[in-house]
Amino acid sequence: MQFGIFTVGDVTPDPTSGRTPSEHERIKAMVAIALKAEEVGLDVFATGEHHNPPFVLSSPTTMLGFIAAQTERIILSTSTTLITTNDPVKIAEDFAMLQHLAQGRVDLMMGRGNTGPVYPWFGQDIRQGIPLAIENYALLHRLWREDVVDWEGRFRTPLQSFTSTPRPLDGVPPFVWHGSIRSPEIAEQAAYYGDGFFANNIFWPKEHFKKLINLYRERYAHYGHGTAEQAVVGLGGQVFMRRNSQDAVREFRPYFDNAPVYGHGPSLEEFTDQTPLTVGSPQEVIEKTLAFRESFGDYQRQLFLMDHAGLPLKTVLEQLDLLGEEVVPVLREEFAKGRPAEVPDGPTHEALAARHAAEAAQAAGTTV
C-alpha cells in the first residue's frame, strides 16, 4: 500500500491566535510539508486545484514541479485536477512535462471540484459537469496514447492531426485516479478505462462511499480489467494526533469548530463518530484506519488531510513526524497481513513502464 497526504491549500485564520498567513507563507508552507512527507517516509504528496479564495492552489503542476526538483522518491499527485474546466490538451502536455521532470513520479486525480462559479469563469456550464468530465477525459486518454489525434466533440474546437508534446515518459501516461464524493457516473468512468477510483472519504459516513466503491469494483470486473478485488482503490482520511488523546481533542477543537467547511455544524464528537475523522492518539488513528479494510476491502492508497483549518506549519510538521514514525509503519505491517497475492500494489511509473514493455515485447513476438 501507499500512504501519503493531500492538501487543499486553504488560507485560513488560526482561531487560537487570530493570525492569517499570507498567500506567500501558505504556498511556502505547503512546499515544506511536501519535503517533510518525503523525509518521514511517506509515499505520496497530493495537491488540489482551486481558482478562488481562500485557496491558493491554482497551478498544481507549477507547485509539483518545484517540489519534484527538491525530492527524490515521493510520488507527486493531484488530489483534484479539474477535468471539466481545464482544456484536456493542456492537461496532457502539462502532466507529460511534469512526468519527465520528476522522472515518472507523477500521477493525477480527475475531479469536477466543489466550486460552482468556476465553470463560467472558464467558459463552461455547470449543468454540463458530467458530460464535460466524460468527453474531456476521453480526449485526454487518447492524447497520451495516440501519436496523432483527430477529434471532434461538443465542448472544444476540433483537432486535426494533432500531436501532444512532450510524449509521455517511456511511452507510459501518468496513472489516473478518478475522484468522487457522490457521482456514480465517475465510478463508472474509472471502471470503464481500468483507472483508479479515489473516494474522498472525509465528509460522509462510510456507507455512502462503500456504495460507490462497490459499484466501481463490480464495473471494473465487468469491463474485463480483472476481478473486483483487483480494482485500484484509494481513500482519503483526516487525522489530528497527540500522544495523549485528550490533548489532541483539546488542541484540535477550536480548529474544528471554526473550519470553513464543517465548522459551526455537528460537534467534534458527532463528526468523529459519523465520519473517518480521527482526533486522538496514534494508536486510535491506527485502529480506525485499519477498520477501513472491513468496509472497502483491500485497497492501494491511503491519503490523509492534515494541514487545513488554520493549523500552523509547526503543528502540521509535528503531525507528520507522528504519522511517519508511529502510524504508517504499523499500518504497512498490518495491511500486509492476509492481503491476497492477486491484490495489486499501489501504482508506480516503474511498474507501469515494465508492464508496457512486456506487452510490447509480447506483441512483437506475436507479430513475428
pLDDT of residue 90: 97
Residue with cell 492569517: 20
pLDDT at 41 over 50: yes
Q: Which fold has domain 2-367?
A: TIM Barrel (3.20.20)
* Grid cell for residue 18: 487570530
What's the CA gap between 34 and 8, in Å, rounded?
13
- pLDDT of 180 reads 83
How many angstroms separate the CA atoms of 356 and 55, rounded? Answer: 38
- C-alpha 146/C-alpha 181 separation (Å) is 31
> Which pLDDT score, from 0 to 100, does residue 103 have?
97
Question: Which amino acid does the sequence have at 306?
Answer: M
Q: How confident is the model over 131-174, as pLDDT tens digits?
A: 999 999 999 999 999 999 999 999 999 999 999 999 999 999 99
CA 338/CA 322 separation, integer angstroms: 26
Supply the DSSP string of 290-358, one letter for each residue: HTHHHHH-S-SEEEEE-S-TT--HHHHHHHHHHIIIIIHHHHHHHHHTT--TTSPPPP-HHHHHHHHHH
Specify the pLDDT at position 259. Answer: 84
User: What SS3 state is found at 87?
Assistant: coil
- Is 261's pLDDT higher than 80? no
What pLDDT digit, counting tens, does each position of 322-362 carry? 999 999 999 999 999 989 999 999 999 999 999 999 988 88
User: Structural domain boundaries of the chain?
Assistant: 2-367
The tally of CA atoms less than 13 A away on the side-chain side of residue 240 is 22
Evaluate whether 88 touches 136 at the Cβ level (below 8 Å). Answer: yes
The pLDDT of residue 366: 64
* pLDDT given at position 367: 55
Residue 12 has a CB neighbour count (10 Å cut-off) of 21
21-26 mean pLDDT: 97
Which is more confident, 183 or 294? Answer: 294
Give the pTM: 0.94
